[in-house]
Amino acid sequence: MTLGKWRSNRLDELGSSIFAEVIQWKKEARASGMNVIDLDIGSPDKPPSAAVMETISAAALNPKQYGYMGTRGSDAFRQTAAEWMAFRFGVQVDPEAELLSLMGSQDGLAHLAMAICNPGDEVLLPNPGYPIYAGSLAIAGVKPIFYPLTAENGFLPDVEAITEEQWRRATFILLNYPGNPVSTVADMALFELVLEKARKHDVLVINDAAYSEMAFDGFVPPSILAADGGMERAIEIHSLSKSYNMAGCRIGFVTGNREAVGALRELKDNIDYGIFSVVQEAGVAALKEAMSPSAPPKAGRLYEQRRDVFVQALQANGWQVEKPRATMFLWAALPDMAWAHPDGPWTSRLIARELLEQTGVAIIPGEAFGSEGEGYVRLALVMEEERLLEAAERIGRFIRGEARVQQHSAT
């Protein structure tokens, strides 16, 4: 057999193998009888609202809902999404030319570079960053220029540290606020600073706003499109997955600069024939409900409570993690371990592996999101408080070296 005959080398550049490794570790832990607590995945654990599920249920029984929909999305969905942009951010967009429905933001993110760049172009990406950002470039033969998100700069891009040369070479810069895996937020001032640089060097700005409805402590994430000149120079990608617990439905949209939105539409016209109409109706229901006086609490409410409970419990167990201001993740510097591991100094990967093996708590090593992620791990708040408290207990025993002792004495 010739290895690699029917498998593109390009696939090696997609994402990190660490995610697959974590899945394998979990399998082994479960096989050994471990009760695993999944804090690794970023999938909301709650269902959508009753209104959304009732819409899906009724629409699914309508025999007219099963035809091709067309790439750009139903008029009703685009119109409602445009209304939501105005309601939520005070941004006016033309639902015909400046807004396109997506099969989740992943669809838009994966196809971005192919639609917007030529092979050999370069693009500014955050490190650490959500894996498909680099994956999208790999598919399109586009080169990343990574800008670091470090603790020294509050995990925000140091816009001045990106050189003139890098700005000049870049076709676009990708931002992700509120962010994953680094759960920081951006204010309008940061957006305006980036836009100013981008204008100077004729660079497009893209903001992945998947967590716009998951912010805490009263913070309301702004849209980059509301910044001065945002509509001319930026596009923003929105998702109903996290905002309305609709991750499996696959629906979101991109809006902003019409040339960039149009390019993505042209590409997608050749790839897919649109989102299932039942899902688009559900999307309309979710957005309309969010704009109604009887809107349910924002998705952030639940995660804010969990954050408070979990952070306090982790701190009580000897891990001084920071409180994020948004998203469903803790981005935590490695704890001060009370014991040494025979395999060498603690790395994010070693900690994640040992924690899972000894206690059954599954987390993601920071290096899965890029080289700057080393020294950190990501914990997802996707379990009920009771399970989070249990996880904090186990993590405490692990840090103190008691989990190891128990495990060994048990065998």
Ligand X SMILES: *Cc1c(COP(=O)(O)O)cnc(C)c1O
| Position with the least CB separation from ligand X | 104
Of the pair 223, 241, the CB lying nearest ligand X is at: 241
Q: Measured from the CB of residue 194, what is the shortest distance to ligand X in angstroms?
A: 17
Q: Is 208 in the site for ligand X (CB under 6 A)?
A: yes
Which range of residues in 100-108, 143-151, 167-175, 214-222 is near ligand X by CB under 6 A?
100-108
Exactly one of 136, 184, 239, 280 binds ligand X (CB under 6 A); that residue is 239
Q: Is 41 in the site for ligand X (CB under 6 A)?
A: no
Q: Is 215 in the site for ligand X (CB under 6 A)?
A: no
Of the pair 256, 335, the CB lying nearest ligand X is at: 256
Q: Which of 100, 57, 400 is nearest to 264 (CA)?
A: 100
Q: Measured from the CB of residue 296, what is the shortest distance to ligand X in angstroms?
A: 19
Of residues 166-185, which lie at the interface with ligand X (CB under 6 A)? 176, 180
Of residues 108-147, which lie at the interface with ligand X (CB under 6 A)? 130
Q: Is 359 in the site for ligand X (CB under 6 A)?
A: no
Q: Is 364 in the site for ligand X (CB under 6 A)?
A: no
Exactly one of 49, 74, 101, 105 binds ligand X (CB under 6 A); that residue is 105
Of the pair 245, 317, the CB lying nearest ligand X is at: 245
Tell me, by CB under 6 A, how many residues bind ligand X.
13
Q: Is 280 in the site for ligand X (CB under 6 A)?
A: no
Which range of residues in 102-110, 140-148, 164-172, 385-393 is near ligand X by CB under 6 A?
102-110
Of the pair 196, 272, the CB lying nearest ligand X is at: 272
Exactly one of 22, 25, 38, 42 binds ligand X (CB under 6 A); that residue is 42
Tell me the three-class secondary structure of the chain, residue by residue.
Answer: CCCCCCCCHHHHHCCCHHHHHHHHHHHHHHHCCCCCEECCCCCCCCCCCHHHHHHHHHHHCCHHHHCCCCCCCCHHHHHHHHHHHHHHHCCCCCCCCCEEEECHHHHHHHHHHHHHCCCCCEEEEEECCCCHHHHHHHHHCCEEEEEECCHHHCCCCCHHHCCHHHHHHEEEEEECCCCCCCCCCCCHHHHHHHHHHHHHHCCEEEEECCCCCCECCCCCCCCHHHCCCHHHHEEEEEEHHHHCCCHHHCCEEEEECHHHHHHHHHHHHCCCCCCCHHHHHHHHHHHHHHHCCCCCCCHHHHHHHHHHHHHHHHHHCCCCCCCCCECCEEEEECCCCCCCECCECCCHHHHHHHHHHHHCEECEEHHHHCHHHCCEEEEECCCCHHHHHHHHHHHHHHHHCHHHHHHHHHC
Of the pair 53, 389, the CB lying nearest ligand X is at: 53
Q: Is 252 in the site for ligand X (CB under 6 A)?
A: yes
Q: Is 300 in the site for ligand X (CB under 6 A)?
A: no
Phi, psi (degrees; rounded to nearest 5) at 288: -65, -40
Q: Is 212 in the site for ligand X (CB under 6 A)?
A: no
Of the pair 313, 330, the CB lying nearest ligand X is at: 330
Q: Measured from the CB of residue 176, what is the shortest distance to ligand X in angstroms?
A: 5
- Residues engaged in binding ligand X (CB under 6 A): 42, 104-106, 130, 176, 180, 208, 210, 239, 241, 247, 252
